[in-house]
Structures are given as structure tokens and as C-alpha cells.
Amino acid sequence: MLRLTTALLAMAAVAKTGNEPAPAAQQIVAFKQRTSGPIGIMTTSAGSPIELKDASSTLNSNLIFNEYFMDSLTHIVRERIPERLVHAKAAGAFGYFEVTHDITNICKAKLFSKIGKKTPVAARLSVVIVERGGSDTSRDARGFAIKFYTEDGNFDIVGFSTPMYAYKDPLLFSSFVRAQKRNPATNLIDGNTLWDFLTLQPENLYMFLLVFGDRGVPDGYRHMPGFSIQTYQVVNESGEKHFVRFHFIPDAGIKKLNSKQAQKISGIDPDYATRDLYNAIGKGKFPSWSVSIQILTLDDVKNAKFDVFDVTKVLPQDEFPLKPLGRLVLNKNPTNYFAEVEQLAFSPANLVPGILGGPDKLFEARRLAYREAQYYRLGANFNKIPINCPIQNHVLAYNRDGRPPVKDNGKDTPNYYPNTFNGPVPYKDENRVDLIEIYQDAPNNFDQARELYMNEMTKGERSRLVDNILYSLGGAIEELQDRAVKIFTIIHPDLGYRISQGLKVNRTSYYRDDE
């Protein structure tokens, strides 16, 4: 009883902001206020009206003839679809992207065609590893996915909250996920599996310096940056090649939570970031991000001293400065979470003329993996689910049949190509450009990790980084601790020494909170 009372008090604590009712807490009340009474006669899923007696009680009656009972009971056990393997817990919202600077000299994509142009977008902001019922304030990387509904179809940027990714070789994806998920025997998160993987594939540690650092827990999604991670090839109307990385920087500023704050909030409101985003939009305080790109020429790619398509590295801004592009604004909450966010399907393969994607192997693998995930979760016709449909052009595909939704299923048009019966035909691009082919060497990002630790982190940030690493690494076996110390020492001797000393004095449960 005490636990229930505590939970109710916690709910009340997040229901209001000051004296103003929070939109998330008032959603169902708002629905009642804008309707004058019951919105109609309830029906079965087949549309048959339900009589009062059938909806009131099944006692002393024949269950199988009560269609309301049968319809609702057999449906509820089928209401869950497979949750995402990663990025399962997320907030979603909708808005627009507006071009503020002209880049038509490098990219012919219609969404960038002129200054002032607005393109509708859907956004899904997520925690990577935790399950759907986990905490928004867990220490983890975050997903930053944007779907642009352009005239030429959907363009998706499936990005991250960090400017780099963990590994270079897509072969590692399965192990990367499994090492961070639950131990198959204990069903518990296991520090040994995480640190075994990180120390066997040390290129991961550059990203994890940010995960274990102050950036590891954003103060809500409104204060979280986003990055495309990959370097995209783009072309202009003449077929000239350029290469870009996208940056989304929150106009409200980047803000973080320290470990104590994150743990405290997690115990009170595990949906903190989701609630914060919904309430901000509901109050008209629309979050926005300034969108910039780093631009490379083909000569830059050829002459760079490192692989500019290596997702485990950043592109140095002193060599490739940010160029302003536009503004992303989220101004509409979902009307129904399952329909509009849980079924929202992203894929790096969603590209439009002018944007060819990345030539690296990780991008190639993601084109397959995301498509396969949507087939598994949502079925072969996932692009016919309303939230995934292109909204500014008419789809003319030869795909037919399969698990619903099929919509009009292509009506009476031919279902094969080529044909001589006036089915849709492809267009011809006189200046067609193919994705360049590249050679990629083994990952090595210690120099950038060293730069991050020494020159981009303050003294206080370095101290908190060490404490957060110790909190995680302290539970691993000594062999893994020794391997980790050696690698951290390669990144920088000071980092390796501080972690080594911290392990010796067993500081794994101590957090600094002095800066």
C-alpha cells in the first residue's frame, strides 16, 4: 500500500509544471472538453453496433455469442508487435524543416531547392539499449532519426546523439548489441560482457567517452544534439559530387544531467524526456534545432589524411567547418503513439534524387538491416502504413498483396515490369552519378579520443568521466579491468592512471558532484 501511495505521489509530482496543467497529464481531459458527449455508438471491429447488455456483463450468458467480448478478448492478446531490438524506447513528434541557406550548388535534392522552403518531418528520439519500459535517463547513446516527406519520396536521416559511431565494420553489430543486452543465463545486464567487447574492439571507446561523460544523459530530448554520423555523397544538377555530414544543434542549448540527477529522476519519472517533449510542444514552446553541414569535395576525400567515411571518427571542424543549412522545428505531438511513433519505420535506404547515401560498408549494411527489421516488425507493406507513406507524391510501385495494409493494392494496373500496357515507367537521369567506391582500412581513432579527453573536456568533465567509467568497470572481472586500463592508457596516460587508481581504491560507487 505504501509503494502504491508513493507511486501516486510521484505521478502527481510530474503532472503539473508550476500552477499550469501539463499537457501530457491533461490529454484525456482535453479530449472530453472538445467533445460534447459520446462520439458515437460503439461497434465491433467489423462495424456492427454493440448493444448495452453485451457491453455490460457476460455473467450467465453465452460468451461465444457476445461479439463484443469475443472481439475485444481475441484482439488484446495480439496488440503487441515485436519491439525494436535497439531504440525500443522513444519519444516522437512532427514538424517541419526549413531551408535557411542555399546549397543547390552542391545538392539537387528538392527539399533543399530554395531558401524558405519547408518540408514536413517526423522525428523519433530514442534511448539505444534499454527496453521499451526502461528509463529515459539511463546512461546510453541516443538515436536522432528524422523522416523528411519530400516531393520525391521519403528521405531518412537515422542519426545519433554523438557525432561518431561505435564500430566501423558492420560485422560487429550483432555482438555489439548482445554484449550490452541481458545475459542469456541471468537475464541481467552484465558488465563483463560489455567490457569484454569494448576492450576487444577498442575503437568503440571513443564514442563511449561521450556515453560515460557528461553527454551520456541529455536533459531531455529538447536539449540533445543529433548527427548523421555518416558522410553522404550528394550531387548537383550537373552531376558534380560533394560529400556532407549533417549536424542538428538544439537552439535551446545542449544540456545534460549528472549521474545523481539522472538516477533520482529515473526513480520518480522514467519517462522524463518523453514527458518533457510532449509538454513543451503542448504548451507551444516548440523545440528547434539549427541544421548545418560539413562539406567535402572529391579532392578533399582523396587528399584527407584519414578515412572521411569512418563513422568512428569525426570530421575536424577546423578543416571542414560547419555551413548553415536550415532549421528543424517540432510543433505537433502524436495523436496516437502506436500508430504514429511505434509504427514509424526509418531506413537509411530512404534516399531521394541528389542524395546517394554513404559509400562505407556500415551504410550498406544498414540499408539491409533496417529494411529487414521493418519486414519483421511491421510486415512487407510497412511503407503503406499511413505514417510511413510519402505524403507529397503518389506511389506507383509494382509490389502487390501481402499482409495488410495493402490500401488499394495497385487497383487494376499491371503488376509486372516491363509491360506494354501503360504501367508506370522509370525516369532517365542524363547526369546520373553512381556512389563512389572506397577502400577502408582498419579502425584507429585513438588520436581523436585523446583530443577529446585532453582538449575538449574540462577538468570537471574528466573527473566525472572517470567516476562513471569506474561505476561500470568496477563490477567487471580483474582481467577485463586490466585490459581496459591498458587501452585507456593508450588513449591518454592520465586517463589510464586515474582509472587504475580508482579501481585500486574501489571507488565504484562514488560520484563527483562538485562542478
3-state secondary structure of 274: helix
Please state, in angstroms and rounded to a whole number, the distance separating the CA atoms of residues 58 and 64. Answer: 10
Cα dihedral 197, 199, 205, 211 sign: positive
3-state secondary structure of 449: helix
Please state, in angstroms and rounded to a whole number, the distance separating the CA atoms of residues 30 and 282. Answer: 11
Closest listed residue to residue 249, CA positions, set 229, 222, 272, 274: 222
Please state, in angstroms and rounded to a whole number, the distance separating the CA atoms of residues 362 and 169. Answer: 6
Please state, in angstroms and rounded to a whole number, the distance separating the CA atoms of residues 423 and 441. Answer: 45
The pairing of strands 322-332 and 89-99 is: antiparallel
3-state secondary structure of 409: coil
Please state, in angstroms and rounded to a whole number, the distance separating the CA atoms of residues 386 and 42. Answer: 24
Please state, in angstroms and rounded to a whole number, the distance separating the CA atoms of residues 270 and 264. Answer: 10
List 466's β-bridge partners, or say none: none
Please state, in angstroms and rounded to a whole number, the distance separating the CA atoms of residues 296 and 230. Answer: 13
Determine if residue 370 is labeled as part of a ligand binding site: yes
CA dist 131 → 88, 181, 408 (Å)? 6, 9, 36
Cα dihedral 399, 402, 403, 405 sign: positive
Residue partners of 492: CB distance under 8 A and separation at least 6: 450, 453, 454
| Main-chain phi, psi angles of 381, to 5 degrees | -100, 35
The widest CA-to-CA distance across the chain, in whole angstroms, is: 82
In the chain, the N- to C-terminal Cα span, in Å, equals 39
Q: Per the annotation, where are the binding residues for heme? A: 370
Q: Per the annotation, where are the binding residues? A: 370
